[in-house]
């Protein structure tokens, strides 16, 4: 099969021949990719280095050696199944849960593959959706998304799921209490849509980009603020509409985390999501004396993805802005994302592909 693969970190992806997925056995499934979202973590993996705060870690430490095929927000068509598969058949279109664990550890058996210490994530440690087909080790990782638009559904595998999992860590929350979202890219916009579908009314968004703030307001944010203004802490305290006790940081660098902890009132909860690196130094006494709680949130579980899809199919879940492009434009998509020029999410669509793409 063919794939747009990273053959040299940071350089344009190359359209190359790669090994076909193995013939499925047991409950294994092979899926032909029809849609694949482009995520900011793909940019980090493309660059070949991950900023973990105090050092840069090469992606080779994650087992990613060139050439490797990225792409984890996948919708596709089932093309082959193992003999034990009962829930899907060839021709079915499904959303792929990509954050697959080892399948045998305590976390996986508890249904929390995303916390597995030996992950087999599609698009990271296993070939992803920038290729023609992906191998799914069990049918339980395939989700029916009903009549949802497949391009939108693909984003639920990462940006939607991550936002939903982060929001769940702050619930229950009275609908009029402020919930502060730092960052209004694909993740932040997904969070606004989910919060609105859950009936939350007081969503406060902080972002550097005027375009992002405008889009956030159009999706239902009550208040947007320029996080770059000098008086941002004071402005947030004045205009939030109540004590700030719930913050989700979709950027999560040294500056945003410092702002978040300074803004939290007693009993406040801070969910760290973004992977932009940096470090944070805090006096430890503030945690017991102010009763603060930190959550780290890495994507979400298969059960949370099912809950999100149920919400999307049964509630008025606003659609985030999506731009569909052919897979041959993947390098341009990654570049635009790296440079902050993407409104919402880019999804690579097989339907737009030119048959003679190089």
**pLDDT (0 to 100) of residue 52:** 81
Measured torsion, CA atoms of residues 39, 159, 294, 261, in degrees rounded to the nearest 10: 70
For the chain, give every residue range classified as CATH 3.40.50.720: 160-296
Q: How far is Cα 4 from Cα 69, in angstroms, rounded to an integer? A: 7
User: Full-prediction pTM beyond 0.85?
Assistant: yes
Mean pLDDT by 10 residues, the chain (358 residues): 96 96 97 97 93 86 92 98 98 98 96 96 97 98 96 97 98 96 96 96 97 96 97 96 97 95 96 91 91 96 98 89 96 95 94 67
Beta bridge partners of 15: 4
Q: How far is Cα 314 from Cα 68, in angstroms, rounded to an integer? A: 38
For the chain, give every residue range classified as CATH 3.90.180.10: 2-144+321-352
Measured CA distances, 343 to 19, 187, 324 (Å): 34, 11, 12
Q: How far is Cα 149 from Cα 145, in angstroms, rounded to an integer? A: 9
**pLDDT (0 to 100) of residue 357:** 46
**pLDDT (0 to 100) of residue 137:** 97
Q: How far is Cα 39 from Cα 7, in angstroms, rounded to an integer? A: 19
In the CATH hierarchy, which fold is given to the domain comprising 2-144+321-352?
Quinone Oxidoreductase; Chain A, domain 1 (3.90.180)
What does CATH list as the number for 160-296? 3.40.50.720
């Amino acid at each position: 099969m063919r794939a747009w693969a990273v053959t040299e970190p940071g350089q344009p992806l190359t359209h190359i021949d790669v090994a076909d997925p193995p013939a499925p056995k047991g409950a294994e499934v092979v899926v032909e990719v029809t849609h694949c979202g482009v995520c900011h973590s793909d940019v980090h993996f493309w660059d070949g280095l991950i900023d973990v705060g105090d050092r840069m870690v090469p992606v080779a430490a994650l087992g990613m050696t060139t050439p490797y095929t990225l792409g984890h927000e996948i919708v596709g068509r089932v093309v082959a199944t193992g003999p034990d598969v009962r829930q899907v058949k060839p021709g079915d279109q499904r959303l792929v849960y990509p954050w697959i664990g080892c399948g045998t550890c305590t976390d996986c058996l508890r249904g929390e593959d995303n916390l597995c210490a030996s992950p087999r994530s599609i698009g990271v440690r296993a070939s992803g959706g920038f290729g023609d087909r992906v191998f799914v080790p069990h049918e339980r990782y395939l989700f029916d998304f009903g009549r949802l638009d497949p391009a939108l559904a693909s984003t639920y595998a990462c940006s939607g799921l991550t936002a939903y999992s982060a929001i769940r860590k702050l619930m229950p929350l009275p609908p009029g209490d402020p919930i502060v979202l730092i960052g209004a890219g694909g993740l932040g916009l997904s969070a606004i849509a989910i919060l609105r579908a859950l009936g939350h009314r007081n969503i406060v968004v902080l972002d550097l980009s005027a375009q992002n703030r405008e889009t956030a307001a159009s999706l239902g944010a009550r208040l947007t603020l320029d996080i770059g203004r000098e008086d941002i802490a004071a402005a947030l305290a004045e205009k939030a509409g109540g004590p700030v006790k719930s913050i989700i940081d979709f950027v999560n660098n040294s500056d945003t985390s410092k702002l978040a902890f300074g803004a939290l009132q007693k009993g406040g909860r801070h969910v760290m999501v973004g992977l932009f690196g940096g470090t944070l130094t805090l006096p430890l006494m503030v945690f017991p004396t102010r009763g603060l709680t930190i959550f780290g949130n890495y994507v979400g579980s298969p059960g949370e993805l099912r809950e999100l899809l149920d919400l999307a199919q049964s509630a008025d879940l606003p659609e985030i802005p999506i731009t569909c492009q052919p897979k041959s434009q993947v390098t341009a998509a990654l570049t635009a994302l790296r440079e902050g020029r993407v409104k919402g999410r880019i999804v690579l669509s097989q339907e737009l592909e030119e048959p003679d793409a190089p």
